[in-house]
Chains A and B, each alone.
Chain A
């Protein structure tokens, strides 16, 4: 866990396996060269950003808040005309079948 890494001063350090794991999560296939580059880059960037602890110490217990918090409501009604954007949006899709978008099979069903 990160608390241990903080104590051992290892928070910034990234290994090749870490990069591979992140690439899987982020759905990006990396080359070996990229893995090597990002290992170094991310280690030094993470070491730098760890100085955020200078602003907020570990024991600070406050909730973050982002900007002015306010609710925005509107009536739940359709504002577009039927088919207003359909043709244009379909035209941007890499693969279509009529008015459908085509995607690869997601579930591999074993017989």
Chain B
């Protein structure tokens, strides 16, 4: 599939039209979605919008909004007014969004055409999209494997060639890990760069929305459109919140060598080392670094995240919206609705969060985890005095088989390199660094570039020069 930038050029030159592109996108979905299950909902009215966009290009050419006529898929935990927003949960199976998320509003203003809503792990909890209440998504590269998660439907939608860009959300790696498994570019912005208004809250101090694309330039374009301060989200940052991060000709990369020895499969490590060698031969400097606290991030994450989950998901009570199960009393309605509406992983994390926040345990867990985050941020700040980027594989393995990781902790460990990024709020970019062979099939694996707070532009700069110009 063409990139967003290519499509835009062709639309302006009249080589193709939004109508042709949307028609073909709907055809691809019709052919492939039965097997892949990337889309939970498909919006046929996209055709009508495509007709209007086609006319606008004929009339105004280049003087049209930047994403006019571009098909975009939206993870189903993002509100699009008048459309079902399920979070891939039974508890919201019939819920219709009553307003647009800020990012949706901005994409609409830029002319994007929403073609459908993508599958995900229920309420974005999981790393394989197997936790969806509406069946798992399969990896288009190898359909016996998962696409990653939780934004697995968004990744599969791009990988199967239906759309050039899909929007995902990332609380602990949910954009980057599926991008790695499906051979895509994925971006998790600096915390606060993108408004969370109209996103179903999972871990409010961790959640950010971002694009999955085929090129870094596309990711940058979409990020620029959806980011920016928003009065509806008090945690959004301005251009001056963090010191300006300058672009450079040559960069210094830090590789946390010891961290990589933990559970990274040998051929993934090999692909990573090859990538590092390429950076060196391109004239960049690569040095070894130690991140002893960053390495332990996963433990702190599985305290902070469930704690926030248990609070955020208290709103699904069978009273104001969503599934409601008849009961004897108000309490009965709550307990039955939540029992029937939530899947196993969601219940597990709510219980976990309730436990770490309960009286007597708060100091041992939540309090400590928050102090750990502070110390991790300090460690990063020191590290970014010496290096411009920190480099890791995005995930320790390529995409795994459906059903392979039934034990919760083994699934959680896939996020070892991505969760410290959310805990500290820094931005990170992933793109493919090569492939590894499993059962005779070449599977993509991604590399993760981590930048300092506010270093979004610098990440796109290096990504474009390393990946887009390959």
**Interface residues, chain A, CB within 8 Å of chain B?**
1-3, 6, 11, 14, 18-19, 22-23, 25-30, 34, 37-38, 41-42, 44-46, 48-56, 60, 62-68, 70, 72, 74, 85, 88-89, 91-95, 101, 103-106, 108
The answer to whether A92 and B368 touch across the interface, beta carbons within 8 angstroms, is no
Known A-B contacts A29-B335, A66-B370; the reply to A51 vs B299 at CB < 8 A is yes
The answer to whether B320 and A52 touch across the interface, beta carbons within 8 angstroms, is no
Q: Find the A residue at minimum CB distance from B242.
A: A68
Q: Find the B residue at minimum CB distance from A79.
A: B231
The answer to whether A67 and B235 touch across the interface, beta carbons within 8 angstroms, is yes
The answer to whether A66 and B205 touch across the interface, beta carbons within 8 angstroms, is yes
**The 3 residue pairs across chains A and B that have the minimum distance between CB atoms:** A64-B370, A94-B324, A92-B321
Q: Which residues of A contact B331 (CB under 8 A)?
A: 27
Which of B132-140, B246-254, B279-287, B346-354 is the contact stretch?
B346-354
- Which B359-379 residues sit within 8 Å CB-CB of chain A? 360-361, 363-365, 367-376
Least CB distance from B195 to A in Å reads 13
The answer to whether B355 and A60 touch across the interface, beta carbons within 8 angstroms, is no
The answer to whether A49 and B303 touch across the interface, beta carbons within 8 angstroms, is yes
The answer to whether A62 and B374 touch across the interface, beta carbons within 8 angstroms, is yes
Q: Which residues of B contact A63 (CB under 8 A)?
A: 371
Q: Could you tell me the distance between the alpha carbons of A20 and B352 in the complex, rounded to whole angstroms?
A: 12
Q: Find the B residue at minimum CB distance from A51.
A: B299
**B400 interfacial contact with A, CB 8 Å:** no
Task: Out of A6, A60, A103, name the residue touching B371 (CB < 8 Å).
Answer: A60
Q: Which residues of A contact B66 (CB under 8 A)?
A: none
The answer to whether B371 and A56 touch across the interface, beta carbons within 8 angstroms, is yes
Q: Which residues of A contact B335 (CB under 8 A)?
A: 27-29
Q: Find the B residue at minimum CB distance from A6.
A: B364
Q: Find the A residue at minimum CB distance from B370.
A: A64
Beyond known contacts A2-B363, A45-B352, A85-B99: 13 more, CB 8 A cutoff: A3-B364, A14-B355, A26-B350, A28-B338, A37-B344, A42-B355, A49-B303, A51-B299, A52-B299, A56-B368, A68-B192, A93-B319, A101-B320
Q: Could you tell me the distance between the alpha carbons of A18 and B351 in the complex, rounded to whole angstroms?
A: 10
The answer to whether A52 and B369 touch across the interface, beta carbons within 8 angstroms, is yes
Which size class do B's interface residues fall under? 35 or more
Least CB distance from A97 to B in Å reads 14
Q: Could you tell me the distance between the alpha carbons of A41 and B409 in the complex, rounded to whole angstroms?
A: 9
26 A-B contacts (beta carbon < 8 Å): A2-B360, A2-B364, A3-B364, A19-B351, A26-B351, A26-B354, A27-B334, A28-B350, A41-B348, A45-B352, A45-B412, A46-B355, A49-B302, A49-B303, A52-B300, A52-B368, A56-B372, A62-B371, A66-B205, A88-B98, A91-B96, A94-B319, A94-B321, A95-B324, A104-B327, A104-B330
Q: Which residues of B contact A6 (CB under 8 A)?
A: 364
Q: Could you tell me the distance between the alpha carbons of A34 and B328 in the complex, rounded to whole angstroms?
A: 23
Q: Could you tell me the distance between the alpha carbons of A33 and B363 in the complex, rounded to whole angstroms?
A: 31
The answer to whether B352 and A28 touch across the interface, beta carbons within 8 angstroms, is no
Q: Could you tell me the distance between the alpha carbons of A64 and B367 in the complex, rounded to whole angstroms?
A: 7
**B464 interfacial contact with A, CB 8 Å:** no
Q: Could you tell me the distance between the alpha carbons of A52 and B109 in the complex, rounded to whole angstroms?
A: 44
Task: Out of A67, A104, A108, name the residue touching B333 (CB < 8 Å).
Answer: A104
Q: Say whether chain B's binding surface is mostly helix, strand, loop, or mixed.
A: helix
- Which B294-334 residues sit within 8 Å CB-CB of chain A? 296, 299-300, 302-303, 310, 314, 317-322, 324, 327-334
Q: Which residues of B contact A41 (CB under 8 A)?
A: 348, 408
The answer to whether A89 and B98 touch across the interface, beta carbons within 8 angstroms, is yes
Q: Find the A residue at minimum CB distance from B324.
A: A94
Most chain B CB atoms below 10 A, which of A45, A65, A72, A91: A45
**B191 interfacial contact with A, CB 8 Å:** yes
The answer to whether A48 and B324 touch across the interface, beta carbons within 8 angstroms, is no
The answer to whether B354 and A42 touch across the interface, beta carbons within 8 angstroms, is no
Most chain B CB atoms below 10 A, which of A18, A63, A94: A94
Q: Could you tell me the distance between the alpha carbons of A67 and B347 in the complex, rounded to whole angstroms?
A: 28
The answer to whether B368 and A94 touch across the interface, beta carbons within 8 angstroms, is no
Q: Could you tell me the distance between the alpha carbons of A106 and B318 in the complex, rounded to whole angstroms?
A: 15
Least CB distance from B454 to A in Å reads 10
The answer to whether A67 and B425 touch across the interface, beta carbons within 8 angstroms, is yes
Known A-B contacts A29-B335, A48-B409, A72-B234; the reply to A105 vs B368 at CB < 8 A is no
Q: Find the A residue at minimum CB distance from B336.
A: A29
Q: Which residues of B contact A1 (CB under 8 A)?
A: 360
The answer to whether B299 and A105 touch across the interface, beta carbons within 8 angstroms, is no
